[in-house]
């Protein structure tokens, strides 16, 4: 039995209760990368979503108060990496530090975008559109190249990392 115990208007309470309610939505975890004038930059993001098959579009949402925000808004090219369960440390590292590349296996693609090699799926994107989204923006990417393989996904739920368990 799943009991609903709280009702509130998120505009009237502090952000914590709203964040906790949103955190009941389990997601995968990605690391998004781009090149900047001062070197490669990465960020851990669970706002990633598939968007369109034809044309092939995906999206994610950078926070406006992140020091990395201006770079991801300015870039014309970026890559999205779906992280595997056994490499949660990649997410922890890029949540702390946008410059964590040297700890991991990475290279640059033909356009100079830094790409990570240890992930479940990688989407190399051109920035297709950006939209306002309150204290975040929505970045839509047109996927130009996909690299993918098998493995167990890393999931994020209630502020914790974990794994996927099949129910049927």
User: Where on the chain is the footprint of ligand FMN (CB under 6 A)?
Assistant: 29, 43-47, 60-63, 66-68, 91, 95, 156
Closest distance of CB 25 from ligand FMN, Å? 12
Nearer to ligand FMN, 115 or 139 (CB): 139
Compute the least distance from the CB of residue 119 to ligand FMN, in Å: 15
Helix, strand, coil percent values for the chain (each to nearest 5): 20, 40, 40
Q: Shortest distance, CB of residue 157 to ligand FMN, whole angstroms?
A: 10
Residues 6+ apart with CB under 8 A from 105: 116, 117, 118
137: how many CB neighbours lie within 10 A of its CB?
17
- Minimum Å distance from CB 70 to ligand FMN? 10
The residue behind tokens 């369960």 is 85
State the CB neighbour count (10 A cutoff) for residue 68. Answer: 18
* In 31-152, alpha helices (H): 69-74, 88-96
Nearest CB to ligand FMN, comparing residues 7 and 65 = 65
Question: Could you tell me the smallest distance in angstroms from the CB atom of residue 35 to ligand FMN?
Answer: 16
Find, among 53, 68, 34, the residue nearest to 143 by Cα.
53
* Residue whose CB is less far from ligand FMN, 26 or 112: 26
Residue among 61 and 84 whose Cβ is closer to ligand FMN: 61
Residue 56 or 133 having the CB closest to ligand FMN? 133
Q: How far apart are CA 89 and CA 154, in angstroms?
A: 11
């Amino acid at each position: 039995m799943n009991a609903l115990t709280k009702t509130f208007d998120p505009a009237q309470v502090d952000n914590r209760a709203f964040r906790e309610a949103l955190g009941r939505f389990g997601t995968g975890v990605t690391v998004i990368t781009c090149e900047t004038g001062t070197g490669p930059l990465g960020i851990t993001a669970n706002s990633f979503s598939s968007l369109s098959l034809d044309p092939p579009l995906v999206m994610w949402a950078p926070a406006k108060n992140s020091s990395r925000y201006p770079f991801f808004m300015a870039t014309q090219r970026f890559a999205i990496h779906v992280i595997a369960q056994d490499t949660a440390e990649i997410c922890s590292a890029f949540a702390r530090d946008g410059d964590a590349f040297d700890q991991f296996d990475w290279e640059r693609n033909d356009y100079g975008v830094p790409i990570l090699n240890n992930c479940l799926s990688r989407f190399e994107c051109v920035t297709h559109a950006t939209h306002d989204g309150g204290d975040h923006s929505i970045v839509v990417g047109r996927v130009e190249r996909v690299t993918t393989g098998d493995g167990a996904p890393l999931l994020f739920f209630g502020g914790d990392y974990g794994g996927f368990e099949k129910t049927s």
